[in-house]
């Protein structure tokens, strides 16, 4: 089954929360998105042990994790050298939030009762942020992205298209992208249309996910 990233390998997540009903509700919504819940854990040590045997793309950690909250669990993961991104589960009606400063393992927060669409958006941002951090850590970011329109450094995309893809992953609007890259907004729109066509995606969110999964960005 094709997952939310549009590839043959679906996104794999771990659900870490001591409350069975919370995990069941999240599992049902995630599976509707084509996301595989590869493992579940009720306490932090169990999560650590399971991740050694069953790697996942993202850990969703709640506040009911056997006496510790999701942030504490994320710190324990980081301390052991396990760098799987953690998406914290907040209280009901909490908005999707960006990652807090000073907690490198935490990639954001989403409400426990988030709709499938909100979960989808939160996971998109986690994957985009993970890709961005990996590029910086590996020295892969080029100082002249967007300056050479004819270069095709990755997957047949020009430097301009790669720059636009990265800004889309960061949640930038067409106007923001145009200002950042000193382009006309019409040029941005036509470039995005070309990107969607090359990736075979119907919308921008799926295009970003596919680009991340294919390691284009």
Note whether 34 and 84 are same-domain residues.
yes
> CA dihedral in degrees (91, 33, 20, 37; nearest 10)?
-120
Can you give the CATH number for the domain in which 209 is found?
1.10.10.10
* Domain identity same for 129 and 188: no
Q: Does residue 168 share a domain with residue 64?
A: no
Query: How many domains does one find in the chain?
Result: 2
Tens place of pLDDT for every residue, the chain, 217 residues?
344 544 446 789 999 888 889 899 999 999 988 899 999 988 888 888 888 888 899 999 887 665 566 777 777 777 777 778 889 887 665 555 655 556 667 888 888 888 888 888 788 778 777 766 665 455 444 444 444 444 444 468 888 888 888 888 777 789 888 887 888 999 999 999 999 999 998 888 888 888 877 878 7
In a domain, residue 201? The reply is yes
- CA 117 to CA 121: how far, in whole Å? 6
Q: Would you state the structure tokens that stand for residue 155, as one six-digit string?
A: 């997957």
Is 6 inside any structural domain? Answer: no
Query: What is the pTM (predicted TM-score) of this model?
Result: 0.61
Q: Which two tokens stand for residue 115?
A: 């709709």
Q: Encode pLDDT of 73-92 as tens digits.
A: 777 777 777 778 889 887 66
C-beta neighbour count of 53 within 10 angstroms:
7
The 3-state secondary structure of the chain reads CCCCCCCCCCCEEEEECCCHHHHHHHHHHHHHCCCEEEEEECCHHHHHHHHHHCCCCEEEECCCECCECHHHHHHHHHHCCCCCCEEEEECCCCCCECCCCCCCCEEEEEECCCCHHHHHHHHHHHHHHHHHHHHHHCCCCCCCCCCCCCCCCECCECHHHHHHHHHHHCCCCHHHHHHHHCCCHHHHHHHHHHHHHHHCCCCHHHHHHHHHHCCCC
What's the pLDDT score for residue 143? 40
| β-strand pairing of 12-16 with 36-41 | parallel
81 and 174: one domain?
A: no
Containing domain of residue 98, as a range?
Answer: 12-137
Residues 28, 132 within the same domain? yes
| Together in a domain, 96 and 30 | yes
- Does one domain contain both 164 and 132? no
Q: Give a yes or no: residue 120 inside a domain.
A: yes
Pair (189, 123) in one structural domain: no
Last residue of a domain, one of 105, 137, 169: 137
Which tokens in the block code for residue 159? 């430097």
In terms of domains, do 125 and 175 share one?
Answer: no
Which of the listed residues 137, 169, 185 is the one where a domain comes to its end?
137
> What is the reported pLDDT for 198?
92
In a domain, 144, yes or no: no
Do residues 107 and 166 share a domain? no
| Neighbouring C-beta atoms of residue 91, cutoff 10 Å | 10
């Amino acid at each position: 089954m094709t997952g939310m990233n549009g590839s043959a390998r679906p996104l794999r997540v771990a659900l870490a929360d001591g409350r069975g009903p919370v995990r069941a509700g999240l599992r049902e919504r995630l599976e509707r998105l084509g996301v595989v819940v590869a493992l579940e854990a009720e306490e932090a040590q169990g999560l650590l042990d399971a991740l050694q045997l069953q790697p996942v793309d993202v850990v969703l950690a709640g506040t009911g994790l056997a006496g510790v909250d999701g942030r504490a669990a994320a710190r324990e993961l980081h301390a052991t050298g396990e760098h799987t991104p953690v998406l914290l589960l907040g209280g009901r009606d909490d908005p999707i939030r960006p990652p807090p400063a000073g907690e490198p393992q935490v990639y954001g927060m989403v409400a426990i009762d988030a709709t499938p669409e909100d979960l989808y958006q939160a996971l998109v941002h986690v994957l985009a942020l993970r890709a961005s951090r990996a590029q910086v850590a590996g020295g892969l970011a080029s100082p002249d992205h967007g300056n050479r329109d004819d270069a095709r450094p990755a997957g047949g995309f020009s430097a301009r298209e790669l720059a636009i893809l990265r800004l889309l992953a960061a949640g930038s609007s067409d106007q923001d992208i145009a200002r950042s890259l000193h382009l006309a907004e019409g040029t941005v729109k036509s470039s995005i249309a070309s990107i969607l066509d090359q990736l075979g995606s119907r919308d921008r969110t799926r295009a970003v996910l596919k680009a991340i999964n294919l390691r284009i960005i």
